[in-house]
Amino acid sequence: MFRQNLSSTLLQNVVDELSSLPGVGKKSALRFALYLLKQPRENVERFGNAVVKMRNEIHYCKICNMVSDSDLCTVCSSGLRDHSLVCVVESVRDVLSIENTGQYNGVYHVLGGIISPMDGVGPGDLSIEHLISRVSQGEVKEIFMALSTTMEGETTAFFLYKKLSPFKVNISTIARGVGFGDDLEYTDEVTLGRSIKNRQPFVPLNT
């Protein structure tokens, strides 16, 4: 138990707020708060204001639900991207991860979660209808599902597959296989089994 008199309610409030962040306990929160106390006032004001401003002024892209500074995100408004290829992901973070690879030139659709009956998340809680209506407009040629390889991810992928099959659209999924740098010995049997079945032509890395 780490509940103590912090000698200042101002400090106590900040510790309480900071320890609400995911993975941050009271000790780390206290460390952050004392760090902030030592910073110049204008820095701390910039810190606090940036957080509030972000929450109040952020937009979500009308097309793909990605966080954005305006009604259209940079990807959806770009003429250089392939708008007929839509990558379906669970969250904003996945978009950032994929963008970070520099390997993808299509656009996105952020579901805003994943089907998880255990957590009470059903299809109606996700932006699936929105995706269907995007596809029904006829310009999307391929739906590329980049969902986690968990039970929930597979369930969501299957649900989307069923919903999208009436439309003339190719449905692909992110390649399953042994991760780069992974030891074969420690790869689980399902992954290894699938990687053997779905073996691919060898392409050297540098070409």
Report the interface residues with a second copy, using CB under 8 A. 2, 4-11, 13-14, 16-17, 20-24, 28, 30-37, 39, 41, 43-59, 66-69, 73-75, 91-93, 95-96, 99-100
User: Measured from the CB of residue 10, what is the shortest distance to a second copy in angstroms?
Assistant: 4
Q: Which is nearer to a second copy, 45 or 182 (CB)?
A: 45
List the Cα angle 66/69/72 in 5-degree steps.
55
* Nearest by Cα to 174 from 197, 146, 150: 146
Q: Which is nearer to a second copy, 152 or 164 (CB)?
A: 152
Q: Which residues of 102-115 are buried (b: 16+ CB within 10 A; e: fewer)?
A: eebebbbbbbbbbb
Q: Which is nearer to a second copy, 31 or 141 (CB)?
A: 31
110 close to 95: Cβ distance less than 8 angstroms: yes
Phi and psi at residue 165, to the nearest 5°: -65, -25
User: Measured from the CB of residue 78, what is the shortest distance to a second copy in angstroms?
Assistant: 11
Name the β-bridge partners of 95.
Answer: none
User: Measured from the CB of residue 32, what is the shortest distance to a second copy in angstroms?
Assistant: 5
User: Measured from the CB of residue 205, what is the shortest distance to a second copy in angstroms?
Assistant: 19
